[in-house]
A and B are shown apart, each in its own frame.
Chain A
Amino acid sequence: MSRAQSLRRFGRVRTLVIPVLAAALAASACGSDSAGGAGGSPKSGGTLTFAFGSDPTCLDPQQIQLSEGLTIGREVVDTLTDQDPKTLRIVPWLAERWDVSPDAKTFTFHLRSGVTFSDGAVFDATAVQKNFDAVVALGAKATLGYAYLSGYVRTVVVDAHTARVEFKAPNAQFLQATTTPSLGFVSPASLSRTPAQRCSQPPVGSGPFVVDSYAPNQRVTLSRRTDYAWASPLARHTGAAYLNKIVFTVVAESGVRTGSLKSGQVDGISQVSPQDALGLEKQDLVLLPTIHSGIVSNLHASPSPDRPVLRDPSVLPAVQRAINRKQLVDTLLNDDFKPATSILGGNTPGHTDLSSLISFDPAAAKKLLDTGGWQPGRDGIRTKDGRRLHLDVLWVPSGFGPEQSVLELIQQQLAEVGIELGVKRLSLAQFTPLYQSNAYDLFWARGTTRADPDILRTIFGSKKPAAPGSAQAGIDKLLNDQNATVDTTRRNQLVEQAQRRILEAGYGIPVFEQTSIMGFSPKVKGVTFTAHSWLQFFDTWIAS
């Protein structure tokens, strides 16, 4: 899996975060046995071996952005709150309850007592304070957590079981952020290590599992805490985890990963490609597809004002209508994938079904371009004032198999209405500077996982103030307002308007819902996913 929510779609992103469940699966997410179907009552003991596609590289849940590391982190640290993958509501965990000030600047958490870290230290308001201070001090090294705490002023220890977190500006997204391992708690003693040591040495958390050892590029071994007694209310059981041990290994090559699962050398694997899925199912292996929350797989348009073709007001709206999402999903992907219905995924809080804005309508696309003055040329590609209707899409292969075919089919679909799309395949190192300087038309964004609509602000908000009166300025205002709104209904209205404007302007051209498929042996039962899309093995057990 890959980078978490701010998950970037590239590079490791392939590894991407495992998402929130698909609607269908959501039902099984926290309630029934996701893997293996019904199969007797849970029993304790045993070791689960799970193969990732790449190394977690860092074990500190506060620093890591890769989904491998966050998945491991989810087993090792607990968080103030948890998020129900079905209802997407925030529920208590280490905080029994909380109050949010109406201006979304102050969050007071009332902590549960009796929680300890695996080194024996007690979890209390001071631990909350030290951890949040530490995340802010990590700065850019804690990419996700630092952004969640943006505008952080301080944490006040009101009493041993009450912590008040204060921000200088409204920060409504913070509550959902407290469900993520990026703001999970490690023992105050381990905060005194250097950031590098915290990456390479086992983190000391209060979670159901403890990291025993980490051999980079080989394996991470976890064993359960027998005295664990503060599971999230969303868990299916209380007390200690069922599994004695979890071994996360790294199998880089996708065919070898699939074969390892088929031959029983591992019990579960990440990143099953849609092409391999059928073969695995025939062998009675269990596939768990999960549709990510957050931003769907999309073509992301450059905000640069200096791209004349891209900035022509008719072009991006025409692209929006010229893409046949259903055809893409039906011909290139499998049933686990769904065409996007907005720029936000269907199981993101605040998502609105806006399919009518982006439905496939080549006649409308052509009309938009005609009206915009783009005349079909001899080879079918349109021109205006001697300029060809050509856009380039930058593509950093993420390791997701069908990606290239998807881009090629989009290329054909756009050509139908007279738009020429060039696909430029780049390495991450080539892409990054182009991305930073906005020197591109479009790039292929695999999707960015987060179960909070504020992800729109992260991805589509401008870094510098936009020109007053521009479409971007309007979007920025909506995005900032939603982060200052505590009332869910009001906040969702703002989020809906933001989605609408982003789609209308064509800043994001949604394609399909980002989906990852995990494969498991049928003897593995009770695998669950968090709302934030990480695998969870607390309720997992192995049938004999």
Chain B
Amino acid sequence: MKTYLVRRLLQALFVLWSAYTVCFAVLYLLPSDPVSLMVSAGAEQGSVDDAQVENLRAQYGLNRPVAVQYVDHLWHAVRGDFGVSVQSGRSVTQIFLDVLPATLELAAAAFVLAVLLGVGLAYWGTFARWSWARQLLLSIPPFWASLPTFWTGLMLIQLVSFRWGLLPATGNDGSRSLLLPAVTLALPTAAGLAQVFARSLRATQTEHYVTTAAAKGASPRRIRLRHCARNAALPALTLAGVWAGNLLAGSVVVETVFSRSGVGRTTATAVSTQDIPVVLGLVILSSALFTVVNLAVDLTYPLLDPRIVHLAAEPR
């Protein structure tokens, strides 16, 4: 188990480092630099003389060779210092600490909703008594999956907020303003979860252990929950890491449509202004989240399927 953990941690560090490096390279290949963008917002640099711009570039260390900048940034990042935003001058760590709670709140709410919706749909869509109900329920996920997030968001805002006046359309003001964005963000994830889970639920019904359990006199309900659902959960769980990534990516759109502050909104702004320190910090943050979720998932497997522990603990 220990070697397994160490190996996984090393892998995680490698993922973080490569994400950082690739992102750094891409940002430096872009045909502009953050200082020009800040000074000009596009046109008419005429008003600021070149010497002043050069000055500013030096202040941010952007006039050094790329390799030096890379090593310097990396060394600071390793020590948890991601520098300051070129646009606002605030420390990147502080920027994230400010916006992270809002996004975690949104992602957590969306995740809970997605699990409830997805699992519920798959369960009832597989085990409902009437075949028309099963068909109806199972046709919902593909429909959800095909809705673009921004469209869902705008529709929900139009109806629930503007027409019926039930909930605020924008902002980060408590649970009332959280509901619509969370639903919007949850739908695609719920759809994916429902599809995967329903498929494995169907597959488990023909397994021998189901027949055995039935022969031993287990109630249909016990068979479904204890045997089918538990075994069917593994594939769905494997994808949880992907879904965590989806939620992060989806937050860019959802936070913009609902004008919420958060990691997604910060990302969108930072990318368009080529705010390199902020973007790099974001990459580290999201790859860290991604790796942590995947690690957590891997460590959860043994709880669901004891066989996996033995495989992992086995020294190679």
Contact = CB atoms under 8 A, between A and B. Distances in A.
A and B together in one complex = yes
Interface of A: 2-3, 6-13, 51, 55, 57-58, 65-66, 139-141, 143-144, 146-147, 194-197, 199-200, 215-219, 249-253, 255-256, 259-260, 262-263, 265, 300, 396, 427-436, 443, 445, 448, 457-459, 461, 463
Given A65-B41, A218-B171, A429 B31 contact: yes
B261 A218 contact: yes
B52 A216 contact: no
Contacts of A9: 42-43
B257 interface: yes
A267 to B, nearest CB: 14
Nearest to B87: A57
Contacts of B266: 217
Given A55-B269, A428-B42, 20 more contacts: A6-B47, A65-B41, A139-B52, A140-B35, A195-B89, A196-B88, A216-B88, A217-B259, A217-B262, A218-B261, A251-B169, A253-B154, A263-B161, A263-B162, A300-B43, A396-B42, A428-B273, A432-B42, A458-B46, A463-B45
B40 interface: yes
B39 A140 contact: yes
B169 A260 contact: yes
Nearest to A262: B162
A256 B157 CA distance: 8
A436 B169 contact: no
Contacts of A428: 32, 37, 41-42, 272-273
A141 B31 contact: no
A13 B89 contact: no
6 contacts: A10-B42, A255-B154, A256-B258, A427-B272, A435-B45, A448-B43
Contacts of A194: 89
A11 B42 contact: yes
Given A139-B52, A432-B36, A265 B170 contact: yes
A459 B46 CA distance: 7
Nearest to A300: B43
Interface string B53-66: 10110000000000
B84 interface: yes
Given A251-B259, A265-B168, A428-B272, A200 B89 contact: yes
B30 A8 contact: no
Contact of B43 (A10, A51, A140, A253): A10
B262 to A, nearest CB: 8
Contacts of A197: 89
Interface residues of B, number: 53
B76 interface: no
The CB with the most chain B CB atoms within 10 A, among A9, A51, A255, A259, is that of A259
Contacts of A251: 169-170, 259
Contact of A459 (B35, B42, B44, B161): B44
B165 to A, nearest CB: 6
A407 to B, nearest CB: 16
A259 B162 contact: yes
Interface of B: 30-32, 35-37, 39-48, 50, 52-53, 55-56, 84, 87-90, 95, 98-99, 154, 157-158, 161-162, 165, 168-172, 256-262, 265-266, 269, 272-274
A25 to B, nearest CB: 27
B90 A200 contact: yes
Contacts of B52: 139-140, 146
Contacts of A432: 31-32, 36-37, 40, 42
A140 B45 CA distance: 10
A464 to B, nearest CB: 10
Contacts of B165: 263
B171 to A, nearest CB: 7
A467 to B, nearest CB: 18
Contacts of A435: 40, 42-43, 45
Given A12-B41, A143-B47, A429 B274 contact: yes
A197 B50 CA distance: 25
A276 B259 CA distance: 20
Contacts of B56: 139-141
B259 to A, nearest CB: 5
Contacts of A51: 170
B31 A430 contact: yes
A253 B256 contact: yes
B259 A146 contact: no
Nearest to A216: B261
A8 B161 contact: no
Given A200-B88, A265-B169, A429 B37 contact: yes
Contacts of B43: 8-10, 300, 435, 443, 445, 448
A258 B95 CA distance: 29
A428 B95 CA distance: 23
A3 B261 CA distance: 22
Nearest to A6: B47
A3 B46 contact: no
Contacts of A218: 171-172, 261
A51 B99 CA distance: 20
B88 A256 contact: no
A196 B90 contact: yes
Contacts of B40: 8, 432, 435
Contact of B45 (A144, A216, A436): A436
Given A256-B154, A428-B41, A199 B47 contact: no
A130 B278 CA distance: 33
A196 B256 contact: no
B161 A259 contact: yes
A217 B98 CA distance: 11
A217 B259 CA distance: 8
Nearest to A55: B269
Contacts of A57: 87-88
Contacts of A6: 44, 46-47
Given A256-B169, A263-B162, A265-B169, A144 B32 contact: no
Contacts of B273: 428
Nearest to B41: A8
Contacts of A259: 157-158, 161-162, 169
B272 A11 contact: yes
A146 B48 contact: yes
Contacts of A427: 272
B41 A252 contact: no
Contacts of B31: 429-430, 432-434
A346 to B, nearest CB: 21
Q: Would you list the 10 A-B pairs with minimal beta carbon distance, nearest first?
A: A196-B89, A10-B42, A147-B47, A217-B261, A140-B52, A259-B162, A8-B41, A432-B32, A139-B52, A429-B32
B44 A458 contact: yes
A143 B31 CA distance: 22
